[in-house]
Amino acid sequence: MGGRGLKLGLGGTVVVLVLSVLSGRNLFDTLGISPAGTTAEAPAGPDPERKAGEAELEKVAIGSFEDAQKVFASKISNYQDATLVLFWDGTASGCGDASANMGPFYCPLDQKVYIDLGFYDQLAKRFGAPGDFAQAYVIAHEVGHHVQHLMGTDTKMRQMQQRDPSSANALSVLLELQADCYSGVWGKTAADRHLLDPGDLEEALGAAAAVGDDKIQKQTSGRVRPDSFTHGTADQRAKWYRRGFEAGAFEACDTFAAGAM
């Protein structure tokens, strides 16, 4: 994607939204138009210097979010748009207070994707996974959770956890790996539309591996505890992203099927 975020199908309202963020002015009011068509909520509150530094991150986040939604809407019936919330340091969500320490997440109660853009700096510097397509992978993964919510997969998973609490972590891993696979499905459509630069696939695979439970645990505590995994190992996350990317179809992403792992 190489800095070409605008190629990801951004509409006029999204462009005005980004310009409003950069200028610190509500250009919707200035131009006399309504922003009702956009599904992204602009961040608020940062100092001007940080705002300018994160402008490119906003563009990639919004562009990949909007494009992932268009792709997924074309693949499932009765798709309902989610909303993207960009924030700095902390915000309130339908699932409770959110902070930068939580990382990106999807809240099914308000059907919104939340991300503190400072996470991208951590992804590059702390986890060693830089690049705009690494960032796009993160957003598409969270939109994948929205797809799971619309399909009822997350509800079924939680019911299974309630019936068998001992399997709660293992089931959570299956849900997360499926969202990785869905992100790969979107990545394949971007490749088919010639939106990727050389090395973009490697960026996404590197990001998927970088946030594997084993790598994060080893980095933060020096110990790896498989019984506490909730998202999958580095190898598993990269494997399921690649599977979605190669297949380009949701049908390839049934992590819950017998023998899928």
- The CA-CA-CA angle for residues 60, 209, 56, to 5°, reads 15
**Residue at 245 is within a domain:** yes
Euclidean distance between CA atoms 155 and 149, whole angstroms:
7
pLDDT score of 11:
41
Model pLDDT, residue 31: 41
Report yes or no on 47 lying in a domain: yes
Q: What is the pLDDT of residue 5?
A: 35
- What does the pLDDT read at residue 47? 58
- Number of domains comprising the chain: 1
Q: How many angstroms separate the CA atoms of 256 and 261, rounded?
A: 8
In a domain, 182, yes or no: yes
- CB-CB neighbours of 110 under 10 Å: 13
User: What is the predicted pLDDT for the residue at 67?
Assistant: 97
Structure confidence at residue 62 (pLDDT): 94
| Inside any domain, residue 261 | no
Q: Is there a domain that residue 235 lies in?
A: yes
Q: How many CA atoms lie within 13 A of 2 on its CB side?
A: 7
Please check whether residue 185 lies inside any domain of the structure.
yes
pTM of the model: 0.81
Note whether residue 259 is domain-resident: no
Residue with tokens 């690049």: 131
Residue range(s) defining the domain that contains residue 197: 5-253
pLDDT tens, per residue, the chain with 261 residues: 333 333 333 344 444 444 444 444 444 444 444 443 345 565 555 556 566 667 888 999 999 999 999 999 999 999 999 999 998 888 889 999 888 778 899 999 999 999 988 888 888 888 888 899 999 999 999 999 999 999 999 999 999 999 999 999 999 999 999 999 999 999 999 999 999 999 999 999 999 999 999 999 998 899 999 999 999 999 999 999 999 999 999 999 999 996 777
Assign 114 to helix, strand or coil.
strand
State the pLDDT at residue 89: 82
Residues in Cβ contact with 105 at an 8 Å cutoff, skipping those fewer than 6 apart:
95, 98, 113, 114, 142
Model pLDDT, residue 197: 94
Please tell me the predicted confidence (pLDDT) of residue 20: 45
In a domain, 258, yes or no: no
**Per-residue pLDDT, 32:** 40
